[in-house]
């Protein structure tokens, strides 16, 4: 890309975005042309003058990251990726919003080359960007050395009024200011329009002052239709170097170029129509047929040569870094690839053996902390955190250091920002170099649910730690007692859910979550103590299958299936039944999602046909009927405030009550 592009050519470049966007939306008869047309000049400023990227290597380690937080404007990003030379041909632009195309209705990670994250739910994009900028800062502090700034890039985000109305944006942006993420630059599409019309009636605060209060630099009142003015604002943001992120407020007109619909909500989410598209072409001086871009415009946009040159400069720096710091460079490369250290399995084996030797009866939240403690030394990329509940979640470990504005660390105090925490973690994962986990109470997982869903949709390794499950909280009452949350987490496609019953199961759960690269994991831990389950080597191996036989008899008459803190209850029930002449198999099922992926043969060996099954979990019962149960002992109401033991008795989760159910099933 030329260093200097004339104002006239910048207009041509912007109009190419406008034309491709309105043509693609019209062909699909679906989409959002208004934002791409309104932010086209801003895109020219960023991609034409500033963005460090290589279309031929979209995963280059030190590329700038770009996030389209207002993801409904996806045709802007698709247009730019096509024009700059990414593997996104015109056939894909013409295939916008069609089945299996690379140009979906909103940008999708791992579907389209150059798309850094899946965006759509407003606010999560800018929050992902905060995570990316945080990862960049921490990696730079950890790995850069004088003369070798191998991690040195910016994170840019486009966002609109809708993103700024979502609370998650402010959870994240507040933290970004506090942590001093000075290489995060957000460009706000300040057009005053959303789906329902002019936002002044429902979004009227002074946004620049709000961001100043967060600790951001703010550059207000930039003409978003003057690419040079926007470019100068970006350059100024980069020059400040005061450790503050920057918000650039760009005044724009939604649907710029459309004679009839510009500056109205009519152009937000509907095709312009053939007549208005023709009028727009005439108004912007774009005489070309649909989906045609002249060669001279492609030449203005083409970033392949400049991108290759930028990466080559970095490669030269990298080669020097490799020679000067071989161990550091090897570790950084491994971590950016997402590979675990060679000695990780050894650390897991040692940890599991410790649990077997110690046979501790402790809360599984403590079992989790012990697992973190045992694995952290072998896993320097571990980046923990908590939504202001560290002392309850136990997500810290003895050698961890808190992340601060002026201090590298590997444990983040997110504050009371569950949703922000979860989406920031996704951004950290997407950036690469760290494996993040963050904790809160299980009942507050609902605050985070959409970020958890996005992690699953993107198939990324984010680890969500949830403690204080079920009615075992006791006196905190129904507001804090999670009866439906575990079931709802299990229903998220590609989300693995583990609810361990003891120290060994917790260690295995952590090992599986850390080794899993195809999706996120939710780890569910108790506040109350859980007895250690004595196991042999085979049983420990079978934990990895998600369910295993923890107690058996020669001829079981009933199978008791339990998970988490209720496995101990199931064992007590089996003992009671045995004294009454009934033989019971007890199955611990710490991960239903993992068990469901096992072979038919393994499933049948654990849950044989022809033997009645009773499931036990201190939560809603609906989920368990899928396993062909004759009965399910659970809680289909909200909880109560009382000591935990009293509540288990109140809700019928006792050995005697479950035994009665078994007798009824067997006709005794």
Q: For 421-467, what is each residue's pLDDT tens digit?
A: 999 999 999 999 999 999 999 999 999 999 999 999 999 999 999 99
- C-alpha to C-alpha distance for 306 and 142, rounded to whole angstroms: 29
- C-alpha to C-alpha distance for 585 and 611, rounded to whole angstroms: 10
CA angle 215, 221, 225 (to 5 degrees): 125
Segment 178-189 mean pLDDT? 98
Segment 351-357 mean pLDDT? 98
Question: Rounded to whole angstroms, what are the CA distances from 147 to 238, 242, 638?
Answer: 20, 21, 60
Helix (H) or strand (E) holding 613: strand 613-616
Tell me the pairing of strands 548-551 and 584-588: antiparallel
Contact predicate 134/102, CB 8 Å: no
Q: With cut-offs at 50, 70 and 90, classify the pLDDT of residue 2.
A: very low
Place of tokens 């897991």: 348
Q: Dig out the tokens for 523 from the structure.
A: 């780890």
Please check the confidence at residue 3 and state whether its pLDDT lies above 60.
no
Q: Residue 348 CB: number of other CB atoms within 10 A?
A: 22
- C-alpha to C-alpha distance for 131 and 162, rounded to whole angstroms: 20
* All residues at 6 or more sequence positions from 499 whose CB lies less than 8 Å from its CB, including other chains: 469, 486, 524, 563, 564, 590, 591
Q: For 385-422, what is each residue's pLDDT tens digit?
A: 999 999 999 999 999 999 999 999 999 999 999 999 99
- C-alpha to C-alpha distance for 232 and 295, rounded to whole angstroms: 27
Residue % of the chain over a pLDDT of 70: 100
Q: For 298-331, what is each residue's pLDDT tens digit?
A: 999 999 999 999 999 999 999 999 999 999 999 9
Nearest to 126 by CA among 410, 420, 507, 359: 420
Contact predicate 169/157, CB 8 Å: no
* All residues at 6 or more sequence positions from 129 whose CB lies less than 8 Å from its CB, including other chains: 65, 67, 69, 155, 156, 157, 184, 186, 427
- C-alpha to C-alpha distance for 347 and 511, rounded to whole angstroms: 10
Question: Rounded to whole angstroms, what are the CA distances from 226 to 79, 214, 234, 498, 549?
Answer: 19, 28, 13, 52, 68
Place of tokens 């944006």: 169
Query: Catalytic annotation on 601?
Result: no
For the four alpha carbons of 325, 327, 330 and 336, in that order, the dihedral sign comes to negative
Widest Cα–Cα separation across the chain: 90
- Go through the chain and tell me how many residues it has: 668
* All residues at 6 or more sequence positions from 566 whose CB lies less than 8 Å from its CB, including other chains: 501, 616, 617, 618, 653
Segment 36-45 mean pLDDT? 98
Q: For 465-475, what is each residue's pLDDT tens digit?
A: 999 999 988 78
Q: Dig out the tokens for 133 from the structure.
A: 């900028």
Annotated catalytic residue: which of 116, 142, 418, 566? 418
- C-alpha to C-alpha distance for 57 and 318, rounded to whole angstroms: 16
Q: Phi and psi for 250 in degrees, rounded to 5?
A: -105, 115
Q: Residue 204 CB: number of other CB atoms within 10 A?
A: 8
- C-alpha to C-alpha distance for 558 and 613, rounded to whole angstroms: 6
Contact predicate 596/540, CB 8 Å: no
- C-alpha to C-alpha distance for 557 and 612, rounded to whole angstroms: 7
Question: Rounded to whole angstroms, what are the CA distances from 354 to 357, 396, 533, 544, 551?
Answer: 5, 19, 14, 17, 22
Question: Rounded to whole angstroms, what are the CA distances from 330 to 224, 326, 333?
Answer: 43, 6, 5
| Terminal-residue alpha carbon distance, the chain | 82
- C-alpha to C-alpha distance for 384 and 395, rounded to whole angstroms: 6
Question: Rounded to whole angstroms, what are the CA distances from 464 to 139, 153, 294?
Answer: 22, 28, 49
Q: For 634-650, what is each residue's pLDDT tens digit?
A: 999 999 999 999 999 99
Q: With cut-offs at 50, 70 and 90, classify the pLDDT of residue 1.
A: very low
- pTM summary value: 0.98
Give the single-character DSSP code of 236.
H
Q: With cut-offs at 50, 70 and 90, classify the pLDDT of residue 4.
A: confident
Please check the confidence at residue 224 and state whether its pLDDT lies above 90.
yes
Q: What is the structure's pLDDT at 474?
A: 79
Q: What is the structure's pLDDT at 481?
A: 94
* All residues at 6 or more sequence positions from 56 whose CB lies less than 8 Å from its CB, including other chains: 85, 304, 307, 308
Segment 223-251 mean pLDDT? 98
Give the single-character DSSP code of 476.
G
* All residues at 6 or more sequence positions from 355 whose CB lies less than 8 Å from its CB, including other chains: 367, 370, 502, 503, 504, 506, 507, 532
* Sheet arrangement for strand 584-588: 548-551, 584-588, 558-562, 613-616, 631-633
Q: Dig out the tokens for 59 from the structure.
A: 């995963």
Q: Is 562 helix (H, G, I), strand (E, B) or coil?
A: strand
- C-alpha to C-alpha distance for 508 and 500, rounded to whole angstroms: 9
Helix (H) or strand (E) holding 11: helix 7-28
Q: What is the structure's pLDDT at 522?
A: 98
Q: Dig out the tokens for 432 from the structure.
A: 């690469």
């Amino acid at each position: 890309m030329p260093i200097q592009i004339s104002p006239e050519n910048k207009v041509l470049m912007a109009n190419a975005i406008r034309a491709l966007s309105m043509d693609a939306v019209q062909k699909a008869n679906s989409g959002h042309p208004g934002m791409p047309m309104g932010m086209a000049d801003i895109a020219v400023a960023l991609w034409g003058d500033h963005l460090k990227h290589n279309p031929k290597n979209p995963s280059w380690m030190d590329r700038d990251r770009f996030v389209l937080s207002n993801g409904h404007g996806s045709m802007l990003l698709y247009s730019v990726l096509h024009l700059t030379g990414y593997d996104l041909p015109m056939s894909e632009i013409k295939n916008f919003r069609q089945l299996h195309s690379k140009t979906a209705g909103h940008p999708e990670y791992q579907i389209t080359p150059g798309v850094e994250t899946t965006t759509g739910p407003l606010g999560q994009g800018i929050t992902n960007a905060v995570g990316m900028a945080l990862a960049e800062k921490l990696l730079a502090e950890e790995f850069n050395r004088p003369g070798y700034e191998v991690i040195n890039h910016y994170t840019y985000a486009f966002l609109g009024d809708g993103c700024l109305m979502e609370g998650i944006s402010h959870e994240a942006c507040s933290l970004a200011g506090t942590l001093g993420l000075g290489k995060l630059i957000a460009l706000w599409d300040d057009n005053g329009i959303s789906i329902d019309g002019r936002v002044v009636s429902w979004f009227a605060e002074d946004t620049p002052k709000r961001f100043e209060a967060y600790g951001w630099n703010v550059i207000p009142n930039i003409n978003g239709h003057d690419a040079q003015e926007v470019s100068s604002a970006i350059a100024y943001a980069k020059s400040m170097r005061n450790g503050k992120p920057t918000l650039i407020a760009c005044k724009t007109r939604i649907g710029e170029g459309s004679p009839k619909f510009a500056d109205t909500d009519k152009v937000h989410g509907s095709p312009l129509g053939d007549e208005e598209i023709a009028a727009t072409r005439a108004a912007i001086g774009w005489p070309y047929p649909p989906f045609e871009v002249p060669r001279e415009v492609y030449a203005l946009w083409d970033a392949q040569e400049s991108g290759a040159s930028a990466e080559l400069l970095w490669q030269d720096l990298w080669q020097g870094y490799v020679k000067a710091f071989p161990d550091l460079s090897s570790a950084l490369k491994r971590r950016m690839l997402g590979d675990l250290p060679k000695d990780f399995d050894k650390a897991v084996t040692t940890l599991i053996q410790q649990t077997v030797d110690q046979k501790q009866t402790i809360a599984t939240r403590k079992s989790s902390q012990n697992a973190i403690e045992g694995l952290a030394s072998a896993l320097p990329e571990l980046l923990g955190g908590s939504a202001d509940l560290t002392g309850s979640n136990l997500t810290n470990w003895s050698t961890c250091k808190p992340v601060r504005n002026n201090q590298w660390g590997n444990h983040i105090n997110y504050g009371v920002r569950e949703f922000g925490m979860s989406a920031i973690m996704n951004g950290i994962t997407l950036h690469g170099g760290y494996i993040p986990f963050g904790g809160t109470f299980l009942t507050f997982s609902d605050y985070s649910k959409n970020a958890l869903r996005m992690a699953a949709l993107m198939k990324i390794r984010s680890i969500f730690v949830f403690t204080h499950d079920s009615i075992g909280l006791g006196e905190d009452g129904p507001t804090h007692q999670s009866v439906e949350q575990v079931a709802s987490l299990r229903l998220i496609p590609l989300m693995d859910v583990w609810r361990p019953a003891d120290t060994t199961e917790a260690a295995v759960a952590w090992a599986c979550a850390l080794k899993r690269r195809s999706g996120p994991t939710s780890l569910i831990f108790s506040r109350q103590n859980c007895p250690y389950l004595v196991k042999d080597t085979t049983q420990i191996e079978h934990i990895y299958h998600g369910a295993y036989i923890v107690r058996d008899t020669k001829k079981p008459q009933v199978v008791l299936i339990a998970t988490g803190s209720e496995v101990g209850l199931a064992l007590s029930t089996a003992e009671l039944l045995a004294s009454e002449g009934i033989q019971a198999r007890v199955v611990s099922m710490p991960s239903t999602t993992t068990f469901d992926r096992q072979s038919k043969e393994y499933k049948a060996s654990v849950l044989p046909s022809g033997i009645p099954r009773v499931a036990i979990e201190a939560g809603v019962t609906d989920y368990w009927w899928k396993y062909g149960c004759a009965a399910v002992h659970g809680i289909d109401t909200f909880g109560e405030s009382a000591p935990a033991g009293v509540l288990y008795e109140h809700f019928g989760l006792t050995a005697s009550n479950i035994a009665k159910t078994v007798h009824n099933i067997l006709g005794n």
